Amino acid sequence: PCQARLVVLLALSSAAFSSPLAKSSFLMLLYFLSVLVFLISTKIMQVYVLKVRWKPELLLEIPPYHVPSLRVIWWYTRVNTMHFLRKAGAIIFPMVIAFWFLLHIGPSGYTTDYSNSIGAIMGRYISLITSPIGLSDWRASLALLSGFLAKEGVLGTINTITGLEDPVAAIRSILGPAEIVSLSVVMNFYLPCVATAAVLLKELRSARYLLIIIAYELLVAYLLAFVSYYVFSLFLH
Protein backbone atom coordinates (compact mmCIF):
# COMPACT_ATOMS: atom_id res chain seq x y z
CA PRO A 1 0.00 0.00 0.00
CA CYS A 2 1.00 3.62 -0.49
CA GLN A 3 2.21 5.74 2.41
CA ALA A 4 -1.16 7.43 2.96
CA ARG A 5 -2.93 4.08 2.89
CA LEU A 6 -0.40 2.69 5.37
CA VAL A 7 -1.25 5.41 7.90
CA VAL A 8 -4.90 4.39 7.76
CA LEU A 9 -4.02 0.70 8.07
CA LEU A 10 -1.89 1.43 11.13
CA ALA A 11 -4.82 3.15 12.82
CA LEU A 12 -7.20 0.36 11.85
CA SER A 13 -4.89 -2.38 13.13
CA SER A 14 -4.47 -0.49 16.41
CA ALA A 15 -8.25 -0.31 16.74
CA ALA A 16 -8.78 -3.99 15.93
CA PHE A 17 -6.03 -5.47 18.10
CA SER A 18 -4.52 -4.59 21.45
CA SER A 19 -1.40 -6.74 21.23
CA PRO A 20 1.60 -5.19 19.42
CA LEU A 21 2.40 -8.61 17.97
CA ALA A 22 -1.14 -8.97 16.62
CA LYS A 23 -1.01 -5.48 15.08
CA SER A 24 2.28 -6.07 13.29
CA SER A 25 1.26 -9.58 12.21
CA PHE A 26 -1.98 -8.24 10.74
CA LEU A 27 -0.13 -5.57 8.76
CA MET A 28 2.33 -8.14 7.46
CA LEU A 29 -0.60 -10.35 6.47
CA LEU A 30 -2.07 -7.48 4.46
CA TYR A 31 1.28 -6.95 2.73
CA PHE A 32 1.65 -10.63 1.85
CA LEU A 33 -1.93 -10.67 0.61
CA SER A 34 -1.16 -7.68 -1.60
CA VAL A 35 1.83 -9.46 -3.12
CA LEU A 36 -0.21 -12.62 -3.68
CA VAL A 37 -3.02 -10.71 -5.39
CA PHE A 38 -0.45 -8.91 -7.54
CA LEU A 39 1.13 -12.17 -8.69
CA ILE A 40 -2.24 -13.79 -9.44
CA SER A 41 -3.46 -10.69 -11.29
CA THR A 42 -0.27 -10.60 -13.33
CA LYS A 43 -0.71 -14.23 -14.32
CA ILE A 44 -4.32 -13.63 -15.31
CA MET A 45 -3.28 -10.65 -17.42
CA GLN A 46 -0.55 -12.64 -19.16
CA VAL A 47 -2.65 -15.69 -19.97
CA TYR A 48 -6.16 -14.37 -20.57
CA VAL A 49 -5.76 -10.70 -21.52
CA LEU A 50 -2.38 -10.30 -23.20
CA LYS A 51 -2.32 -14.01 -24.11
CA VAL A 52 1.41 -14.35 -23.62
CA ARG A 53 2.33 -18.03 -23.93
CA TRP A 54 6.07 -17.68 -23.45
CA LYS A 55 8.39 -15.50 -21.50
CA PRO A 56 9.84 -12.88 -23.83
CA GLU A 57 13.53 -12.16 -23.60
CA LEU A 58 14.34 -8.84 -22.04
CA LEU A 59 17.57 -7.11 -22.98
CA LEU A 60 18.48 -3.94 -21.17
CA GLU A 61 21.42 -1.73 -21.95
CA ILE A 62 22.65 -0.27 -18.70
CA PRO A 63 23.88 3.29 -19.14
CA PRO A 64 27.07 4.46 -17.42
CA TYR A 65 26.56 5.79 -13.93
CA HIS A 66 27.04 9.49 -13.27
CA VAL A 67 27.02 11.64 -10.18
CA PRO A 68 23.57 13.28 -10.14
CA SER A 69 23.52 16.98 -10.85
CA LEU A 70 21.71 19.12 -8.27
CA ARG A 71 20.52 21.39 -11.07
CA VAL A 72 18.95 18.49 -12.95
CA ILE A 73 17.43 17.08 -9.76
CA TRP A 74 15.90 20.46 -8.90
CA TRP A 75 14.53 20.92 -12.41
CA TYR A 76 13.08 17.40 -12.55
CA THR A 77 11.49 17.74 -9.10
CA ARG A 78 10.02 21.17 -9.84
CA VAL A 79 8.57 20.16 -13.21
CA ASN A 80 6.99 16.97 -11.93
CA THR A 81 5.65 18.63 -8.78
CA MET A 82 3.99 21.40 -10.78
CA HIS A 83 2.64 18.87 -13.23
CA PHE A 84 1.13 16.86 -10.37
CA LEU A 85 -0.42 19.94 -8.76
CA ARG A 86 -1.97 21.05 -12.03
CA LYS A 87 -3.38 17.65 -12.96
CA ALA A 88 -4.28 16.15 -9.59
CA GLY A 89 -4.98 19.41 -7.76
CA ALA A 90 -7.59 20.36 -10.32
CA ILE A 91 -9.51 17.25 -9.26
CA ILE A 92 -8.80 17.19 -5.51
CA PHE A 93 -9.76 20.78 -4.73
CA PRO A 94 -13.29 20.62 -6.21
CA MET A 95 -13.87 17.26 -4.52
CA VAL A 96 -12.89 18.67 -1.11
CA ILE A 97 -15.44 21.44 -1.54
CA ALA A 98 -18.07 18.98 -2.74
CA PHE A 99 -17.46 16.71 0.25
CA TRP A 100 -17.87 19.63 2.68
CA PHE A 101 -21.25 20.37 1.14
CA LEU A 102 -22.24 16.71 1.41
CA LEU A 103 -21.76 16.83 5.19
CA HIS A 104 -23.33 20.23 5.79
CA ILE A 105 -26.27 20.29 3.40
CA GLY A 106 -29.36 18.19 4.01
CA PRO A 107 -32.79 17.87 2.41
CA SER A 108 -33.99 20.86 4.45
CA GLY A 109 -30.91 23.01 3.87
CA TYR A 110 -27.83 23.74 5.97
CA THR A 111 -27.36 21.38 8.91
CA THR A 112 -24.79 20.70 11.60
CA ASP A 113 -26.22 17.24 12.22
CA TYR A 114 -24.22 14.98 9.94
CA SER A 115 -26.78 12.19 10.23
CA ASN A 116 -29.29 14.37 8.36
CA SER A 117 -26.90 15.45 5.62
CA ILE A 118 -26.80 14.39 2.01
CA GLY A 119 -23.56 12.59 2.82
CA ALA A 120 -25.38 10.47 5.39
CA ILE A 121 -28.05 9.62 2.84
CA MET A 122 -25.37 8.58 0.37
CA GLY A 123 -23.61 6.58 3.08
CA ARG A 124 -26.81 4.69 3.87
CA TYR A 125 -27.27 3.77 0.22
CA ILE A 126 -23.66 2.62 -0.02
CA SER A 127 -24.09 0.57 3.16
CA LEU A 128 -26.72 -1.51 1.36
CA ILE A 129 -23.84 -2.83 -0.74
CA THR A 130 -21.24 -2.98 2.03
CA SER A 131 -23.46 -4.62 4.66
CA PRO A 132 -22.49 -8.18 3.59
CA ILE A 133 -18.86 -7.36 4.40
CA GLY A 134 -19.75 -5.99 7.83
CA LEU A 135 -19.82 -2.29 6.97
CA SER A 136 -23.47 -1.57 7.65
CA ASP A 137 -22.79 1.74 9.44
CA TRP A 138 -23.28 4.66 7.06
CA ARG A 139 -20.33 6.46 8.63
CA ALA A 140 -17.93 3.71 7.59
CA SER A 141 -19.42 3.64 4.09
CA LEU A 142 -19.07 7.40 3.74
CA ALA A 143 -15.48 7.19 4.99
CA LEU A 144 -14.71 4.77 2.16
CA LEU A 145 -16.14 7.27 -0.29
CA SER A 146 -13.90 9.99 1.12
CA GLY A 147 -10.96 7.62 0.72
CA PHE A 148 -11.32 8.03 -3.02
CA LEU A 149 -10.46 11.69 -2.53
CA ALA A 150 -7.42 10.85 -0.41
CA LYS A 151 -6.76 7.72 1.61
CA GLU A 152 -5.96 9.62 4.80
CA GLY A 153 -9.37 11.25 4.41
CA VAL A 154 -10.90 8.04 5.77
CA LEU A 155 -9.57 8.81 9.25
CA GLY A 156 -10.48 12.47 8.97
CA THR A 157 -14.04 11.64 7.98
CA ILE A 158 -14.51 9.19 10.85
CA ASN A 159 -13.03 11.70 13.32
CA THR A 160 -15.29 14.47 12.02
CA ILE A 161 -18.48 12.43 12.03
CA THR A 162 -17.92 10.87 15.46
CA GLY A 163 -16.59 14.06 17.04
CA LEU A 164 -13.60 12.19 18.51
CA GLU A 165 -10.03 13.38 17.99
CA ASP A 166 -8.36 10.03 18.64
CA PRO A 167 -8.68 8.02 15.40
CA VAL A 168 -8.46 4.68 17.21
CA ALA A 169 -11.27 5.62 19.61
CA ALA A 170 -13.30 7.01 16.73
CA ILE A 171 -12.98 3.78 14.74
CA ARG A 172 -13.88 1.64 17.75
CA SER A 173 -16.97 3.76 18.40
CA ILE A 174 -18.60 2.71 15.12
CA LEU A 175 -17.03 -0.65 14.26
CA GLY A 176 -16.24 -3.92 16.00
CA PRO A 177 -12.97 -5.87 15.54
CA ALA A 178 -14.22 -8.05 12.66
CA GLU A 179 -15.70 -5.01 10.90
CA ILE A 180 -12.39 -3.17 11.30
CA VAL A 181 -10.57 -6.10 9.69
CA SER A 182 -13.02 -5.98 6.80
CA LEU A 183 -12.50 -2.23 6.41
CA SER A 184 -8.72 -2.76 6.47
CA VAL A 185 -8.91 -5.29 3.64
CA VAL A 186 -11.12 -2.98 1.59
CA MET A 187 -8.73 -0.10 2.24
CA ASN A 188 -5.81 -2.22 1.08
CA PHE A 189 -7.31 -3.10 -2.30
CA TYR A 190 -10.10 -0.77 -3.31
CA LEU A 191 -10.14 2.38 -5.44
CA PRO A 192 -6.99 4.40 -6.00
CA CYS A 193 -7.17 8.01 -4.84
CA VAL A 194 -8.15 10.67 -7.36
CA ALA A 195 -4.53 11.73 -7.78
CA THR A 196 -3.55 8.21 -8.81
CA ALA A 197 -6.64 7.91 -10.99
CA ALA A 198 -5.73 11.16 -12.73
CA VAL A 199 -2.20 9.91 -13.42
CA LEU A 200 -3.53 6.56 -14.66
CA LEU A 201 -5.93 8.32 -16.99
CA LYS A 202 -3.09 10.40 -18.38
CA GLU A 203 -0.81 7.40 -18.87
CA LEU A 204 -3.45 5.02 -20.24
CA ARG A 205 -5.14 7.71 -22.34
CA SER A 206 -8.35 5.75 -22.03
CA ALA A 207 -11.19 6.19 -19.57
CA ARG A 208 -12.34 2.67 -20.47
CA TYR A 209 -9.15 1.03 -19.20
CA LEU A 210 -9.26 3.16 -16.06
CA LEU A 211 -12.82 2.04 -15.34
CA ILE A 212 -11.79 -1.59 -15.90
CA ILE A 213 -8.97 -1.21 -13.37
CA ILE A 214 -11.30 0.42 -10.84
CA ALA A 215 -13.94 -2.28 -11.32
CA TYR A 216 -11.36 -5.04 -10.92
CA GLU A 217 -9.96 -3.50 -7.73
CA LEU A 218 -13.44 -3.07 -6.28
CA LEU A 219 -14.30 -6.70 -7.05
CA VAL A 220 -11.09 -8.01 -5.48
CA ALA A 221 -11.50 -5.79 -2.41
CA TYR A 222 -15.12 -6.84 -1.92
CA LEU A 223 -14.48 -10.57 -2.24
CA LEU A 224 -11.46 -10.54 0.06
CA ALA A 225 -13.27 -8.38 2.62
CA PHE A 226 -16.26 -10.72 2.51
CA VAL A 227 -14.09 -13.74 3.30
CA SER A 228 -12.02 -11.88 5.89
CA TYR A 229 -15.06 -10.58 7.73
CA TYR A 230 -16.66 -13.98 8.23
CA VAL A 231 -13.37 -15.72 9.03
CA PHE A 232 -12.33 -13.15 11.63
CA SER A 233 -15.87 -13.06 13.04
CA LEU A 234 -15.19 -16.55 14.35
CA PHE A 235 -12.23 -15.35 16.40
CA LEU A 236 -12.85 -11.66 17.14
CA HIS A 237 -15.81 -10.51 19.21
- pLDDT tens, residue by residue, 109-158: 888 888 888 988 998 998 999 999 988 888 888 888 888 877 777 888 88
Per-residue pLDDT, averaged over 71-99, amounts to 75
Per-residue pLDDT, averaged over 179-187, amounts to 91
Burial class of residue 116 (count of CB atoms within 10 Å of its CB; 0-12, 13-18, 19+): middle
Spatial CA neighbour of 147 closest among 218, 227, 80, 220: 218
Residue 84 identity: F
Q: pTM, whole model, 2 decimals?
A: 0.79
pLDDT at residue 222, as a whole number: 93
pLDDT at residue 96, as a whole number: 67
The answer, yes or no, to whether residue 1 has pLDDT greater than 60, is no
Angle between the N-to-C axes of helices 3-16 and 153-162, in degrees from 0 to 180, rounded to the nearest 10: 40
pLDDT level of residue 56 (50, 70, 90 thresholds): low
State the chain's mean pLDDT as an integer.
83
pLDDT level of residue 91 (50, 70, 90 thresholds): low
The answer, yes or no, to whether residue 237 has pLDDT greater than 70, is no
pLDDT at residue 46, as a whole number: 78
Between 83 and 216, whose confidence is greater? Answer: 216
pLDDT at residue 227, as a whole number: 92
Between 87 and 21, whose confidence is greater? Answer: 21
Please check whether residue 177 is in contact with residue 167, taking contact to mean a CB–CB distance below 8 angstroms: no
